[in-house]
Amino acid sequence: MSDDSDNMQGDSLRNRKKEKLSSKEEEEDASKVQASPPASNRWKNAWTRFLFALPMIGGFILILWLGPVYVALLVILLQVKSFHELMVIGHSKYSSLELPWYRVLNWYFLGVANYFFFGESLTTYFRNLFSHEDYLNKLANYHRFISYWLYLGGFIAFVLSLKKKKYMVQFTLFGWTHIVLLCCVVQSHLIIQNCFEGLYWLLFPAAMVICNDIMAYFFGFFFGRTPLIKLSPKKTWEGFIGGFFATMVFGVIVSKTMYQFKHLICPVEYDGNWLVISNCDPGYVFNLQTFNVPAVIKGPLSIIGISWSEFSMRPIHFHGAVMAMFASLIAPFGGFFASGFKRAFKLKDFGDLIPGHGGVIDRMDCQFLMGTFVFVYYYSFIKSVSVSSVLNIIYGMPPERQLELYSSLGDTLASHGLL
């Protein structure tokens, strides 16, 4: 018994030593990947980032000017490239194995996911686009059923591709594919939903993230001394705090400017030929509103002789401040998450598509998180039922149901003395 216990203690000691060694190796590998470049290269890297940032910003402005359809296409292209970068990383560990249909099924599932999500957007926002042709109307009516069977086709193909002694690897990569789809396709779908509600809801949050990224880099480059987080050794508290204040100031300035352009604040509609920006009324959130001063503020002010009962402001300025705050305080954690991911796989960047910046994921990590927040925030606190959204539902009804609705609505309006 004593010999057995000695052996068990020895095994546990050896295991602990192995764990310490492996963790130490991981830290050393991560430090190699994340090691700060020499001082002479810092300026070179900064100039490279700056020079390639200018055409990216210019190209983005051009696509915004072209309209929401081209913005949606840009988001899809970025999504596809992001998917490719992540799938390459996941497959690199098992690249020596011959896995049947692996790459084909990856792209098939990407296509099916896009068909489902963006089909949902089209049928929700532009139902009248499908009402002119019978086959398009049927596609819209049975869109979810068709999407489900398309997915089942890929699922069955995956099961048939399973090979003995490779089950674990194949199921691991199958799970990896679905996680990547969740990260890329779902979040890009939410960003496009924001775009269809008005380019403002894509441009403003994207500008806040870009501003925070630039200003955090600037303050960290010149004043950074205190490390912020171990996952990303180059990030500093000076950069994080400087980026926050700069983004808040920039957000106030931009929110006071952008709401004046209908091209940015009006939602997308189908005019019978193409998807265009509607000529809308700006609505409650963009118009000047009067609010009562809360009692908890009014009471103390009255004690010192200040009478202040109401104030006027545009709600979009408040919402803009919330988005700027999220972009500077929470969205950077998308970047920290990506840094941890790269350390886990011993990578410097997700790709080398953009010199000085890395891959698409290196630029979109915070944007995906920001786009999801804006979608949730918009539909929770800003979105209201519009005439166009109701009409889209009506367009999907059979003609006899539309007549029934027309008759019922007429009776209701007449009973209220409106007809």
DSSP-assigned states of every residue in 113-151: HHHHHHHHHHHHH-GGGTTTSHHHHHHHHTHHHHHHHHH
DSSP state of 15: H
Could you give phi then psi for residue 60, rounded to 5 degrees?
-65, -40
Residues in the chain: 419
Closest to 72 (Cα-Cα) out of 188, 210, 181: 188
**What's the confidence (pLDDT) of residue 98?**
79
**What's the confidence (pLDDT) of residue 34?**
44
**Cα–Cα distance between 6 and 12 in angstroms, integer?**
10
Cross-strand bridge partners of residue 276: 269
**What's the confidence (pLDDT) of residue 176?**
93
- How much is the CA Rg of the chain, to the nearest whole Å? 27
**What's the confidence (pLDDT) of residue 388?**
63
> Cα torsion for 253, 257, 263, 265, to the nearest 10°?
70
b/e map 88-112, b = 16+ CB within 10 Å: ebbbeeeeeeebeebeebbebbbeb
**Cα–Cα distance between 97 and 95 in angstroms, integer?**
5
**Cα–Cα distance between 174 and 80 in angstroms, integer?**
18
Determine if the pTM surpasses 0.85: no
- What are the structure tokens assigned to 397, written together? 């009804």
- Tens place of pLDDT per residue across the chain (419 aa): 444 444 444 444 454 544 444 445 444 444 444 444 555 566 677 777 777 778 888 888 889 888 888 999 999 999 999 999 999 888 887 877 778 888 899 999 999 999 999 888 887 777 667 766 777 778 888 999 999 999 999 999 999 999 988 999 999 999 999 999 998 999 999 999 999 889 999 999 999 999 999 899 899 988 988 999 888 888 899 999 999 999 999 999 998 888 888 888 888 876 667 677 777 878 789 999 998 888 888 878 788 878 888 889 999 999 999 999 999 999 999 999 998 888 888 888 888 887 777 889 988 889 999 999 999 999 999 987 666 667 767 776 778 888 888 888 888 888 888 77
